Structure 1
Amino acid sequence: MSDKLLQVEHLKQYFPAGGMGKNRKFVKAVDDVSFFVNRGETLGLVGESGCGKTTTGRSILRLYEPTGGKITFDGNVILDVENKVKVDMLPYRQKMQMVFQDPYASLDPRMTVGDIVGEAIDIHKLAANKKERHDRIISMLEKVGLNSEHANRYPHEFSGGQRQRVGIARALAVNPQFIVCDEPISALDVSIQAQVVNMFEELQEQMGLTYLFIAHDLSVVKHISDRIGVMYLGKMVELADSYELVARSLHPYTKSLISAIPIADPIKARASKRIVLQGDVPSPLNPPTGCRFRTRCPYADECCAQKEPEWREVEKGHYVACHHVEKINA
């Protein structure tokens, strides 16, 4: 059995943005992204808002139908656009789940918490009778720090942190193998964020879960992830072991993200050098030619404008897309 639970190859997600025929325009939200996730690990995905992180997660679960690429889950091809392979996703919905970013918008306000968690159990016919269904719901709520009394309440009766726990319980209810965590703590108070992150780690250990953990806060991702991928304007620019990426990043964009991580020690904070990028992120509707980061990169030259950098493994397990990675890190 392969260690790779999920394999994503050349994933593309283009959204129409006006025009007709030859003049039709597309937003290239995800453009030729490849990576894999091993069983039982957490792959973190970071980048600025709008870089394509959430779209990548939703495309993997086929909440969006990808424009191109191939997705293999647990040894089975669930999507291959080029060869017109597209399997029925219902059986895979039990194995692949998602925790959404906004706990206020992702729960139906007309349903009780018990029915929210129990809906997936009903769809996948995982309970033989009402008692088994009820016991499973309560078990899931208790796993996330809630109790049986919460099952009869409605989402508006809970705090943001509790609502997100309900969303996590809903994802766990079908006993999945893989969960896409789409910025699951960004809408929560800072005091609650650590509790939820620790809970994710405990659940992973108890249930053998595999995560794709999407966030824009690199300090959080560094804590929870085994490996980290960095996205910029629809492209993956670097991917490596978590410690390796933070200690020895190779791409200029990753270096700037890491320099922005807050340092608790005031002496070290004063000694650290912040890398401030110039300019704004270009529009995904009209991305720069060649390297998409070149308009903000201090190392950009004519080669970067003319040729798109190759996604390559420069060291074992360390992937980068940059023409000048050896020169920059010499």
Structure 2
Amino acid sequence: MSDTLVQVEHLQQYFPAGGYGKNKKYIQAVDDVSFTIERGETLGLVGESGCGKTTTGRTLLRLYEPTGGRFIYDGDVIFDVEKKIKVDMLPYRKRMQIVFQDPYASLDPRMTVGDIIGEAIDVHKMAANKKERYDIIIEMLRRVGLNSEHANRYPHEFSGGQRQRVGIARALAVNPEFIVCDEPISALDVSIQAQVINMFEDLQEQMGLTYLFIAHDLSAVKHISNRIGVMYLGRMVELADSYELITRPLHPYTKSLISAIPIADPRKARENRRIVLEGDVPSPLNPPSGCRFRTRCPYADETCAAAAPEWKEIEKGHFAACHHIDKCN
């Protein structure tokens, strides 16, 4: 059995944005993204709003139909756009799940928590009878720090942190192997975020889970992730071991992100020079030619405008896409 559970090759997701024929326009949400995730690993995915993190996760689960690329899950080709391969996703829904960003919008307000969790159990025929179904629901609630009394309540009776726990319990109900965590802490109070991250880590250890953990907060991502990928305007710009990426970033965009992490110690904060990027993120409807970061990069030149940088392994396990790695390090 291979240790590689998730293998993504040249993933592409374009959304139609008006126009007809040759004038038809597309939002290039994800463009030529490749990565792997090992069994039992957590890969963090970070970047600014609109960079394509959430679209990447949802496309892998075929919540969006991919425009291009290939996704191999545990040796099975889930989709290969070029070869026109797309498997029936229902059997894989038990193995791959998602925890959504907004716990207020992702739970049906007309259903009790027990029915929300039980729906997935029913669809995938995970229980032989009502008692077994009930036992699974209560066990899932227990795993996320809730109890049997919560099963008969409705979502509006819970706090944001508790709702997100219900969303996590729903994902766990079918005993998955791989979970896309789509910014699961961004809508929560800071005081609750650490509790939820610790719970994710405990569940991973108990159930042997593999995560794609999408977030804005680099501090949270570095805590939970084995490796971190950085996206900018639909493309991956750097990928490395978590500690390596934070301490030795190679790409100028990654350096600017890391410099923005708040530092509690005032003395160290004074020593930390924040890298402020000029300009705004370009539109994915009309991205810059060549390197997409070049309009905000202090090292950009004609080479950057002429061609997109190659995605390559700069050091063992440390990948980046930049024409001037030597110049900016």
TM-score, reference length from structure 2: 1.00
Q: Does the CA contact (< 8 Å) of 2:299 and 2:327 recur in 1?
A: no
Partner Cα separation in structure 2 for residue 21 and residue 156 of structure 1: 47
Partner Cα separation in structure 2 for residue 29 and residue 63 of structure 1: 14
Task: Give me the identity figure in percent.
Answer: 82
Partner Cα separation in structure 2 for residue 105 and residue 327 of structure 1: 46
Could you report, residue by residue, the CA deviation over 1:77-107 in whole angstroms, capped at 9, with x for unpaired residues? 0100000110000000000000000000000
Could you report, residue by residue, the CA deviation over 1:128-175 in whole angstroms, capped at 9, with x for unpaired residues? 000000000000000000000000000000000000000000000000
Partner Cα separation in structure 2 for residue 208 and residue 264 of structure 1: 34
- Residue in 1 aligned with 2:111? 111
- Residue in 2 aligned with 1:122? 122
Question: Stretches of 4+ moved more than 6 A in 1?
Answer: none
- Residue in 2 aligned with 1:52? 52
Partner Cα separation in structure 2 for residue 207 and residue 291 of structure 1: 41
Partner Cα separation in structure 2 for residue 217 and residue 12 of structure 1: 25
Q: Does the CA contact (< 8 Å) of 2:294 and 2:304 recur in 1?
A: yes
- Residue in 1 aligned with 2:79? 79
Determine helix, strand or coil for the equivalent of 2:327.
helix
Partner Cα separation in structure 1 for residue 191 and residue 204 of structure 2: 22
- Residue in 1 aligned with 2:4? 4
Q: Could you tell me which amino acid in structure 2 is paired with residue 130 of structure 1? A: K
Q: Could you tell me which amino acid in structure 2 is paired with residue 101 of structure 1? A: Q
- Residue in 2 aligned with 1:217? 217
- Residue in 1 aligned with 2:279? 279
Q: Give the RMSD, CA atoms, in angstroms.
A: 0.4
- 1:285-296 equivalences under 5 Å are 285-296=285-296
- Residue in 2 aligned with 1:258? 258
Partner Cα separation in structure 2 for residue 264 and residue 3 of structure 1: 38
Q: Could you tell me which amino acid in structure 2 is paired with residue 73 of structure 1? A: Y
Partner Cα separation in structure 2 for residue 268 and residue 189 of structure 1: 26
Q: How far does residue 264 in structure 1 lie from its aligned partner after superposition?
A: 1.0
Partner Cα separation in structure 1 for residue 87 and residue 264 of structure 2: 49
Determine helix, strand or coil for the equivalent of 1:313.
strand
Q: Could you tell me which amino acid in structure 2 is paired with residue 77 of structure 1? A: V
- 1:197-212 equivalences under 5 Å are 197-212=197-212
Partner Cα separation in structure 1 for residue 210 and residue 89 of structure 2: 19
- Residue in 1 aligned with 2:178? 178
Can you give the 5+ residue segments of structure 1 that lack an aligned partner in the other structure? none
Partner Cα separation in structure 1 for residue 139 and residue 288 of structure 2: 51
Q: Could you tell me which amino acid in structure 2 is paired with residue 309 of structure 1? A: P
Partner Cα separation in structure 1 for residue 72 and residue 213 of structure 2: 18
Q: Could you tell me which amino acid in structure 1 is paired with residue 92 of structure 2? A: Y
Q: How far does residue 23 in structure 1 lie from its aligned partner after superposition?
A: 0.2
Q: How far does residue 327 in structure 1 lie from its aligned partner after superposition?
A: 2.2
Q: Could you tell me which amino acid in structure 1 is paired with residue 179 of structure 2? A: I
- Residue in 2 aligned with 1:135? 135
Partner Cα separation in structure 2 for residue 218 and residue 288 of structure 1: 26
Partner Cα separation in structure 2 for residue 118 and residue 317 of structure 1: 41
Partner Cα separation in structure 2 for residue 277 and residue 3 of structure 1: 39
- Residue in 2 aligned with 1:228? 228
Partner Cα separation in structure 2 for residue 271 and residue 241 of structure 1: 25
Partner Cα separation in structure 2 for residue 83 and residue 315 of structure 1: 33
Q: Does the CA contact (< 8 Å) of 2:291 and 2:309 recur in 1?
A: yes
1:244 to 2:236 alignment: no
Q: How far does residue 326 in structure 1 lie from its aligned partner after superposition?
A: 1.9
Partner Cα separation in structure 1 for residue 248 and residue 267 of structure 2: 21
Partner Cα separation in structure 2 for residue 3 and residue 327 of structure 1: 36
Can you give the 5+ residue segments of structure 2 that lack an aligned partner in the other structure? none
Determine helix, strand or coil for the equivalent of 1:277.
coil
Partner Cα separation in structure 2 for residue 231 and residue 271 of structure 1: 27
Partner Cα separation in structure 2 for residue 23 and residue 267 of structure 1: 55
Partner Cα separation in structure 2 for residue 78 and residue 291 of structure 1: 30
Partner Cα separation in structure 1 for residue 262 and residue 46 of structure 2: 16
Partner Cα separation in structure 1 for residue 259 and residue 139 of structure 2: 42
Partner Cα separation in structure 2 for residue 89 and residue 326 of structure 1: 44
Q: How far does residue 123 in structure 1 lie from its aligned partner after superposition?
A: 0.4
Could you report, residue by residue, the CA deviation over 1:29-82 in whole angstroms, capped at 9, with x for unpaired residues? 000000000000100000000000000000000000000000000110010000
Could you report, residue by residue, the CA deviation over 1:260-313 in whole angstroms, capped at 9, with x for unpaired residues? 001111100011100000000000000000000000000000100111000101
- Residue in 1 aligned with 2:69? 69
Partner Cα separation in structure 2 for residue 27 and residue 73 of structure 1: 27
Q: How many residues align?
A: 329
TM-score, reference length from structure 1: 0.99
